[in-house]
Amino acid sequence: GAVVSQHPSRVICKSGTSVKIECRSLDFQATTMFWYRQFPKQSLMLMATSNEGSKATYEQGVEKDKFLINHASLTLSTLTVTSAHPEDSSFYICSAPTGSNYGYTFGSGTRLTVV
Amino acid sequence: AQKITQTQPGMFVQEKEAVTLDCTYDTSDPSYGLFWYKQPSSGEMIFLIYQGSYDQQNATEGRYSLNFQKARKSANLVISASQLGDSAMYFCAMREGESGAGSYQLTFGKGTKLSVIP
């Protein structure tokens, strides 16, 4: 089945630094990637939608200059959290539609802690 | 208005018993899909079951079944013969628009934490 590999699974960074999260589609071409953020004990909230070769679409309230999304190829989408602050600590997870009815495959998620 | 409503923040069920997790949805799109996912403490999202808006029969996948009541806009998940490994967060989600006709995001409910008691 369609697999999205997400790395890193956990990262701890210092406040003010940047962190890059990668999602790779291993056996299919992901023209679209959804990026979600999940705070503890809360739901998944869509941050942005990336499409290969074009600019990402950000949801209202999400700072595009802070959360840089790049989707330069059909198999790789990245989310860079720039100048991270403790309030950016969260669980970030990507998801790609695979074309079938229930074809959304999720990455395994990245737990980001900013200290 | 919330598109997906899960009114049960937490549920307890005895092992081997059945449990129903509630989900109501709101959409004006005639084409939509409803999903249930399980999220254990590791964070991964595990797909459980899918129901399309035009599906005539309720979806079933092993111990999981979806009680789809279109007129009431509800899509409750029924887990039969609960197991200790079923303890997790459960999310109901909706895709508005036809599958394969474009890339539509999922909208998630707030989730229900299910605890299975031995």
Give the pLDDT of residue A1.
76
Of chain A, the percentage scoring pLDDT greater than 70 comes to 97
Residues in chain A with CB shorter than 8 Å from the CB of B96 are none
**A31, A56 contact by CB (below 8 A):** no
H or E element at residue A45: strand A45-51
Q: Say how many C-beta atoms besides its own lie within 10 A of residue B45's C-beta.
A: 26
pLDDT digits (tens, 9 = 90+) for A16-28: 999 999 999 998 8
The answer to whether residue A103 scores a pLDDT higher than 80 is no
**A106, A97 contact by CB (below 8 A):** no
The answer to whether residue B115 scores a pLDDT higher than 70 is yes
**Mean pLDDT taken over chain B:** 93
**Greatest CA separation found in chain B?**
45
Give the pLDDT of residue B72.
97
Burial of A82 from C-beta contacts in 10 A (0-12 / 13-18 / 19+): middle
Residues in chain A with CB shorter than 8 Å from the CB of B35 are 102, 104
Q: Mean per-residue pLDDT for B80-106?
A: 87
- Residue to test with chain B: of A94, A101, A111, A112, most B Cβ within 10 A: A101
pLDDT digits (tens, 9 = 90+) for A32-66: 999 999 999 899 999 999 998 889 999 999 999 99
- Residue to test with chain B: of A29, A42, A104, A113, most B Cβ within 10 A: A104
